[in-house]
C-alpha cells in the first residue's frame, strides 16, 4: 500500500509514526506540505518522501489522507479536483462534511471521514469513522488500519453521529485536563503543597482510567464499589448530585455537538 498525506501537521506526523512502528515501509509514504518548516520537521523525524505540491507521482497512491486545517481544505483540494481515479480518500479534518469534500473534489465518492483525538499523538487515541456507500469493505478495513495505528477505532452508521463523537472524544481530552486542573487546585486550597496536589490529581485520573479500561465492571459499578455508605466519597458525590453536575455535563456536551454541526455548515459554504 502507498499512502499520500495532504498536510504534514501534528496528526499526520502521529499517523506516520504509528504506521512506521508497525513496520510500514517509509518509502511508501509521501507527504505534501507547503510549509518548509513543517517539511524540515518531518524530514528530521522520518525517512518519508516530502514534496511541496501535488503531482502525478503523489496521486499514484492507494490512499490519500487529507490532513490540512479545515479552513484551508478547499484551496488545498483545488489542484486535485477531477484528478482522482480510484484512491481511498480519508479525511481527518474536523467538521468538514463528506458532501462538501466530494463537491470540492469534483463529485468524488470514495471517501471516509474520521474524528481522531489528541491522545493519538502518543498512540492512545480513539477515532470515530464514517464511510460513504461507495467505499468497499476492504477499503474500510484499510482506513481502520491507518487510524488504528494511533489507537482504537469505532465505525458509525450515520455521518451526523460524528458531531457527538466530536463532543465526547474529540473535545473530551480538554474536559479531562480541566478536571485534573480543578482537582489539583482543590487539593491546594485544602492545604496540600501545589506540586503534591498536582501529582495526586494526575496520577489519580491516570490510575482510575487504567482500572476502568482493564476491569470487566462498568464505570458505574466501580464507582459504587468505592463509595462506602456514610463515607468521604459519598459526601463528595452527594454534592455532585445536589449541584446537578451530570446534567450540566450533558448540556456542555450538547453545546459542543451543536457547535460541531454549525462548523460543518460554516466550513462547507461556497463552491
Residues 164-188 have pLDDT tens digits of 999 999 999 999 999 999 999 999 9
For helices 232-242 and 245-267, angle between their N-to-C axes, nearest 10 degrees: 50
Average confidence (pLDDT) over 41-66: 87
Distance CA 163, CA 260 (A): 5
Strand order in the sheet with 49-51: 49-51, 29-32, 3-6, 63-66, 88-91, 111-115, 125-131, 151-155
* Cβ neighbours for 25, distance < 8 A, ≥ 6 positions apart: none
**Phi/psi class of residue 151: alpha, beta or left (left: φ > 0; alpha: ψ in -120 to 50)?**
left
* Predicted confidence (pLDDT) at residue 58 exceeds the cutoff of 90: no
> pTM here?
0.91
The answer on pLDDT for 270 being more than 70 is no
Q: Residue 269 in contact with residue 95, Cβ under 8 Å? A: no
Domains of the chain: 3-158 (3.40.50.720), 172-260 (1.10.3730.10)
pLDDT at 269: 79
Distance CA 134, CA 143 (A): 14
Nine-digit cell string for 270: 461556497
Beta strand pairing status for 49-51 and 63-66? Answer: unpaired
- Check: CB of residue 31 under 8 Å from CB of residue 50: yes
pLDDT of residue 196: 98
- At 224-263, the pLDDT tens digits run 999 999 999 999 999 999 999 999 999 999 999 999 999 9
Interval 111-138: pLDDT, tens: 999 999 999 999 999 999 999 999 999 9
- Region of 25 on the Ramachandran plot (φ > 0 left; ψ -120 to 50 alpha; else beta): beta
How many CA atoms, within 13 angstroms, populate the side-chain half-sphere of residue 71? Answer: 1
pLDDT of 57 over the 90 cut: no
Q: Read off the C-alpha cell for 199.
A: 501529582
- Cβ partners under 8 Å of residue 207, min gap 6: none
Determine the pLDDT at residue 217: 97
pLDDT(19) > 90: yes
Amino acid at each position: 500500500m502507498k499512502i499520500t498525506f495532504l498536510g504534514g501537521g501534528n496528526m499526520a506526523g502521529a499517523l506516520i509514526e504509528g504506521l512506521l512502528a508497525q513496520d510500514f515501509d517509509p518509502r511508501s509514504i509521501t507527504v505534501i506540505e507547503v510549509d518548509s518548516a513543517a517539511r524540515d520537521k518531518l524530514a528530521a523525524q522520518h525517512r518519508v518522501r516530502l514534496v511541496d505540491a501535488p503531482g502525478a507521482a503523489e496521486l499514484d497512491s492507494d490512499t490519500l489522507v487529507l490532513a490540512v486545517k479545515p479552513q484551508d481544505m478547499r484551496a488545498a483540494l483545488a489542484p486535485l479536483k477531477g484528478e482522482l481515479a480510484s484512491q481511498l480518500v480519508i479525511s481527518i479534518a474536523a467538521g468538514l462534511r463528506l458532501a462538501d469534500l466530494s463537491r470540492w473534489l469534483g463529485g468524488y465518492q470514495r471517501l471516509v471521514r474520521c474524528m481522531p483525538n489528541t491522545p493519538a499523538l502518543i498512540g492512545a487515541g480513539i477515532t470515530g469513522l464514517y464511510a460513504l456507500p461507495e467505499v468497499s469493505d476492504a477499503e474500510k478495513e484499510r482506513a481502520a488500519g491507518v487510524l488504528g495505528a494511533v489507537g482504537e477505532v469505532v465505525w458509525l452508521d450515520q455521518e451526523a453521529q460524528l458531531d457527538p463523537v466530536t463532543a465526547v472524544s474529540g473535545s473530551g481530552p480538554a474536559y479531562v485536563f480541566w478536571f485534573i486542573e480543578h482537582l489539583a487546585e482543590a487539593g491546594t486550597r485544602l492545604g496540600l503543597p501545589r506540586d503534591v496536589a498536582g501529582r495526586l490529581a494526575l496520577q489519580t485520573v491516570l490510575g482510575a482510567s487504567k482500572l476502568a479500561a482493564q476491569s470487566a465492571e462498568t464505570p458505574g459499578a466501580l464507582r459504587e464499589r468505592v463509595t462506602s455508605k456514610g463515607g468521604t466519597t459519598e459526601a463528595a458525590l452527594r454534592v455532585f448530585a445536589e449541584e446537578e453536575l451530570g446534567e450540566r455535563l450533558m448540556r456542555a456536551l450538547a453545546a459542543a455537538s451543536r457547535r460541531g454541526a454549525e462548523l460543518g455548515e460554516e466550513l462547507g459554504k461556497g463552491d
